[in-house]
Each structure stands twice: as structure tokens, then as C-alpha cells.
Amino acid sequence: MARSIKKGSYTHYSILEKIGRLRAGDKTVIKTWSRSSTIIPEMIGYRFGVHNGRTFTELLVTEDHVGHKLGEFSPTRKFTRHGGRMAKDQADSTKTGNRTE
């Protein structure tokens, strides 16, 4: 369920404090564990290190990111392609450049 319009978007207070201390476009990475924080227009131009459970994934916020959550840009699971003989054959054919299609 979406957050109420009356309440406004949620952004952790520590992120807002750190943004106030830095300038936009600065190379400093703001590390955060708050994946649930919504990206607001004041965050544009800052670099964030969003924790994915193991490491910090670096994110440079642009206008396209506004309205999304920080956690959307830091996947927590590593996708290893689906297995099977057919997938292996396709992977081998793309490596060698031979396509049977």
C-alpha cells in the first residue's frame, strides 16, 4: 500500500542532515542503510552508497530517480542465469559467434 499523501514521502532524517552539509556534485559518497527512503528532488546530484546486505552499491541520483526508493537501485540478490542443457548450448553458441537461428 502506498504512503498517504497527507503524510508526505519518507526520507530518513540522517540523509537530509548529510545532504545539508555537502554540495551537489561533490564526489563524497553518502553511505546509508535506509533502503526505504524515497528519493526527493533535493537529492539530485549526490552520490549514495546504498547497503544491499553485504556491500554498498554506489548510486548517482538524477532527475529520473525522483519518487523511487533507494533500495530499488541496489539489488539484494545476485541473479545467476537459469540452468539446463539448452541454456548452456545457447551460451556456448553466443561465445563462439555461431548462431543456429
Per-residue confidence (pLDDT) for residue 98, from 0 to 100:
59
Domain with 42, as residue range(s), is 13-76
Question: In the sheet where 47-51 sits, what is the strand order?
Answer: 29-32, 47-51, 56-60
Let me know if residue 40 belongs to a domain: yes
d(CA 29, CA 6): 31
pLDDT at 14 over 90: yes
User: Which residue's entry shows cell 552499491?
Assistant: 57
Q: Whole-structure pTM over 0.85, yes or no?
A: no
Q: Mean pLDDT across the stretch 46-51?
A: 94
Per-residue confidence (pLDDT) for residue 24, from 0 to 100:
80
Q: Mean pLDDT across the stretch 22-42?
A: 90
Q: Which of 40, 42, 45, 37 lies closest to 62 in space, CA to CA?
A: 45
pLDDT at 8 over 80: yes
Let me know if residue 1 belongs to a domain: no
d(CA 24, CA 77): 30
d(CA 45, CA 62): 6
Name the domain count of the chain. Answer: 1
pLDDT at 28 over 70: yes
pLDDT tens per residue across span 69-97: 999 999 899 888 777 788 778 878 877 76
Q: What is the CATH number of the domain that holds 45?
A: 3.30.860.10
